[in-house]
Amino acid sequence: MLPTPTKYTLVAGAGEGQTPLNAFDRALLESGAGNVNLIRVSSILPPGARYVETLPLPPGALVPVAYGAIKSSTPGDRIAAAVAVGIPEQGFGVIMEYSGYNYREEAERIIRQMVEEAFAMRGMEIKTYMVKAVEHRVQKAGAAFAGLLMWY
Amino acid sequence: MLPTPTKYTLVAGAGEGQTPLNAFDRALLESGAGNVNLIRVSSILPPGARYVETLPLPPGALVPVAYGAIKSSTPGDRIAAAVAVGIPEQGFGVIMEYSGYNYREEAERIIRQMVEEAFAMRGMEIKTYMVKAVEHRVQKAGAAFAGLLMWY
Amino acid sequence: MLPTPTKYTLVAGAGEGQTPLNAFDRALLESGAGNVNLIRVSSILPPGARYVETLPLPPGALVPVAYGAIKSSTPGDRIAAAVAVGIPEQGFGVIMEYSGYNYREEAERIIRQMVEEAFAMRGMEIKTYMVKAVEHRVQKAGAAFAGLLMWY
């Protein structure tokens, strides 16, 4: 099997570029996840995974990540991305992602409800809650990214 | 290299949530794939992979999956997702995914043709055919998911 | 951790099918990546990765890939996909992907600028540049795909 991640951190970033993909690249760089190969996953924090402030990711490494992201080429758009994780007393955590045309505070409010709903669905209780969010006002082409990076 | 999967099963689920992502989370839970990290792949069944009724997936595990999924926030929408695999006498199988505003029977009819076309393109003949599909009528925010989970 | 890829190649293909997914399947087959499980990543060439003309990918293998792709069901549409990588004197390379309703030459022009911008953002200089692009005129349902496949 593929090895289950044992560490994680939350990151977020936003930025501008000449194209939406370059803006996304900038957002990744701002978040600290710009020089790796992100593999998008949905979206469970493995039991026992340990939070770390920063992950020393080797360039080009294959890095599992649950993320929310949004790109826009409409000047003036306000965009936001958020990622959050709820962790119970014991066992796995549940990650939720959000992106939309919104303020950061609103993104954080919505994603909190999403994590709460995910826990209610599973009959679980949140012990620890973590969130990372970012907002951005588009100038030419902008992107916002928030992700929970998993590592070993 | 990454280890090539050796087992597989087909799952499907649908459900409601307060947001489309929560509905997707519910659909995953209903299917039995709600507590792992799905890695989406396109979309070949490795040669010799063995069908199993259920996969004992550890929570948070990285699980390769080929899937069709659809979310809708329009009450009354009928949505369907399907996954199917054709397997020849020998060698690899080909997986197809479908999602749309449709009935389950129609999803199953369409995906069958898709698998047949994929085999015709490769000059291969289907020996075994498996399909899993689900439909859902949206109340507030709904999602349907059908996937072929690969494992070891 | 997941093993970091050590080899790569660039591929592209386009084609027709009865459905957009079958057209995508055909495009993958034309490119030589039709019988594996592509795992989409974003999008760094690991340092020291070695270019090879062709990769002997086992059927059903899990293959990391950075790609651009587009599907269309509108007869007459001209679609293009491109992938490009810039590599500095030392260290990791940066991959960019493009897809759109466009000619191949235009796709190649745009993606060159994208790679240049990605290097400028990182304060790096391109030593080697590689691109692969394809265009297609849609008959019934068409797809174009260009990817940088990573392997071991």
Mind listing the pLDDT tens digit of every residue in chain C (152 residues)? 999 999 999 999 999 999 999 999 999 999 999 999 999 999 999 999 999 999 999 999 999 999 999 999 999 999 999 999 999 999 999 999 999 999 999 999 999 999 999 999 999 999 999 999 999 999 999 999 999 999 99
Q: Contacts of residue B39 in chain A, CB cutoff 8 Å?
A: 2, 39-41, 64
Q: Are B111 and B55 in contact (CB under 8 A)?
A: no
Instruction: Give domain status of residue A107, yes or no.
Output: yes
- B122 and C29 within 8 Å at the Cβ level: the answer is yes
Of C30, C31, C72, C97, which is the active-site residue? C97
pLDDT for A16: 98
Is A44 a domain residue?
yes
Res C94: pLDDT: 98
Query: Mutual orientation of helices C104-122 and A20-31 as an angle, nearest 10°?
Result: 20
The per-residue pLDDT of chain A, averaged, comes to 98
pLDDT band (50, 70, 90) for residue A30:
very high
- Residue A93 binned pLDDT confidence (cut-offs 50, 70, 90): very high
What are the pLDDT digits (tens) for B81-138?
Answer: 999 999 999 999 999 999 999 999 999 999 999 999 999 999 999 999 999 999 999 9
Shortest distance between the Cα of A59 and any Cα of chain C, in A, equals: 6
| Cα(C109)–Cα(C104) distance, integer angstroms | 9
* Per-residue pLDDT band at B3 (split at 50, 70, 90): very high
Question: Is C112 strand, coil or helix?
Answer: helix
Q: How large is the average pLDDT for residues A12-25?
A: 97
CATH, residue C40:
3.50.20.10
B118: nearest CB among C2, C22, C37: C22
State how far the Cα of C91 lies from the Cα of A60, in Å rounded to an integer. 10
A6 confidence band (pLDDT: 50, 70, 90): very high
Sign of the torsion angle spanned by Cα atoms B152, C4, C6, C8:
positive
Distance in angstroms (rounded) separating the CA atoms of residues C21 and C41: 20
Chain C closest-CA separation from residue B98 CA (Å): 9
Report how far residue C145's alpha carbon sits from residue B98's, in angstroms, rounded to the nearest whole number.
19
pLDDT tier, A96 (very low <50, low <70, confident <90, very high otherwise): very high
Please answer whether residues B89 and B68 qualify as being in contact, where contact means their C-beta atoms are separated by less than 8 angstroms.
no
Cβ of A37 within 8 Å of Cβ of C96? The answer is no
Angle at which helices B104-122 and C20-31 cross, to 10°? 20
In a domain, C80, yes or no: yes
**Quick check: is B57 in a domain?**
no
Quickly tell me which residue has 């996954």 as its tokens. B83
Task: Judge whether B6 is closer than 8 Å to chain C, CB to CB.
Answer: no
**What pLDDT shows up at residue C55?**
96
pLDDT at residue A118, rounded to an integer? 98
Domain assignment present for residue C52? The answer is yes
Q: Hey, is A47 helix, strand or coil?
A: coil
In a domain, B1, yes or no: no
B59 Cα to chain A: minimum distance (Å): 6
State whether A60 and C45 contact (CB < 8 Å). Answer: yes
Structural domain harbouring C89: 7-151
Nearest Cα residue to B126 out of B151, B152, B95, B82: B95
- Cβ–Cβ pairs < 8 A, chains A and C: 80
Residue A22, Cβ neighbours under 10 Å: how many?
24
Task: Tell me the pLDDT tens digit for each residue of B18-72.
Answer: 999 999 999 999 999 999 999 999 999 999 999 999 999 999 999 999 999 999 9
Q: Is residue C73 part of a domain?
A: yes
- pLDDT score, position C29: 98
Per-residue buried b or exposed e for A104-113, using 16+ beta carbons within 10 Å of the residue's own CB: bebbbebbbe
Mutant choice from C4, C21, C26 vs B, greatest count of B C-beta within 10 A: C21
Instruction: Report the pLDDT value the prediction gives residue A88, as an integer from 0 to 100.
Output: 98
Angle (CA) B23 A73 A13, round 5°: 65
**Confidence (pLDDT) at B105:** 98
Q: Can you tell me which residue has the tokens 């973590």?
A: A130
pLDDT tens, position by position, C6-36? 999 999 999 999 999 999 999 999 999 999 9
Polymer length of chain A: 152
Q: How far apart are CA A41 and CA A66, in angstroms?
A: 5
Query: Do B60 and A66 count as a contact with CB atoms less than 8 A apart?
Result: no
Q: What angle do CA A6, A82, C46 make, to 5 degrees?
A: 50
pLDDT, tens digit (0-9, with 9 covering 90-100), for A40-79: 999 999 999 999 999 999 999 999 999 999 999 999 999 9
Distance between CA C28 and CA C14 in Å, rounded? 7
Is residue C30 within 8 Å of residue C148, measured between CB atoms? no
As given in the structure block, the two tokens for residue A3 are 């090895």
Please tell me the predicted confidence (pLDDT) of residue A90: 96
Nearest to B62 by CA among A151, A145, C148, C59: A151
**C112 Cα to chain B: minimum distance (Å):** 27
The pLDDT score that the predictor gives to residue B107 is 98
Residue A9 buriedness (CB in 10 A; 0-12 / 13-18 / 19+): buried
Please check whether residue C3 touches A, CB under 8 A. Answer: yes
Instruction: Give bridge partners of residue C127 from the DSSP assignment.
Output: none
Q: How confident is the model at residue A8 (pLDDT cuts 50, 70, 90)?
A: very high
Domain presence at residue C67? yes
User: Structural domain tally of chain B?
Assistant: 1
Q: Is C99 a catalytic residue?
A: no
Altogether, the residues listed in chain C come to a count of 152
- From CA A93, how far away is CA A45, in angstroms rounded? 5
